[in-house]
Copies of this chain bind each other. A is one copy, B any other.
Amino acid sequence: MTSARSTREKLLDAFSELLVAAGSRAATLDAVAAAAGVSKGGLLYHFGSKDALVDGLVERWRRMADDDVREMRAAPEGAAAYYLRTSVVERDDPLARTGVAVLHLAQEGDARAVAAFTDATEDWRAAIEEQVGDRVLSRVVQLVGDGLWAGSSIGVAPDDLDDVVSGVTRLLGEPPRPA
């Protein structure tokens, strides 16, 4: 631990920030090292290759996502509202930021990133289903969140998040009766 661990974390932070802000073409070893305040040699001591850096980020995101599922289940507002609210990426939200970074890797075809997404998506959905009691409804809620989150990934912040959350909550609260 101590400073070794700290530098590793700083490097992963810099990597994810660069991925989110400017895409993977901009997230070079040079740029990551500079943003973390170390030299390229320093970076390569902690992560022996760019692939190892990707591994480190995906693994960190898996841990964060697991923690988030637990927080979601305990959220007073309910798992659905919690998911929707945390789908809008705030500047200083490490989970959502890291998630967008991993999304970039998944979109490039990185199999580890795609697998991490598939796993986390199912865990989140199951937590929502526990609240709303229906599989398809849990999917719809999650997809609304994913839509918000996709917008965040290009820097478009919704100006009507509260309306959307209460709109969805209202739809859930008064389920349609069978015909």
Within 8 A of B (CB), among A129-147: 136-137, 139-140, 142-147
Q: Which residue of B has the minimal Cβ distance to A176? A: B174
Contact A23 B147 (CB under 8 A): no
Closest partner residue, chain B, to A22 (CB atom)? B109
Whether the pair A23, B154 counts as a contact (CB closer than 8 A) is no
What residues of B have a CB within 8 angstroms of the CB of A151 in the complex?
146
Complex CA–CA separation, A174 to B142 (angstroms): 21
Expressed in whole angstroms, the minimum distance between the Cβ of A120 and any Cβ of chain B is 12
Say whether, besides A107-B154, A117-B154, A136 and B24 are in contact (CB < 8 Å): no
Asked if A114 and B154 make an inter-chain contact with CB atoms under 8 angstroms apart, the answer reads yes
Encode contact with B along A145-157: 1 for CB under 8 Å, 0 otherwise.
1111111011110
Q: Is the CB of A137 within 8 A of B176?
A: no
> Which residue of the partner chain B has the closest CB to A167?
B136
13 extra interface residue pairs, beta carbon distance < 8 Å, beyond A22-B108, A139-B163 = A23-B109, A26-B108, A114-B154, A114-B155, A117-B154, A136-B164, A139-B164, A143-B143, A144-B144, A145-B147, A147-B147, A149-B150, A174-B174
- For residue A91, give the distance in angstroms from its CB to the closest CB of chain B: 15
Partner of A23, one of B108, B153, B155: B108
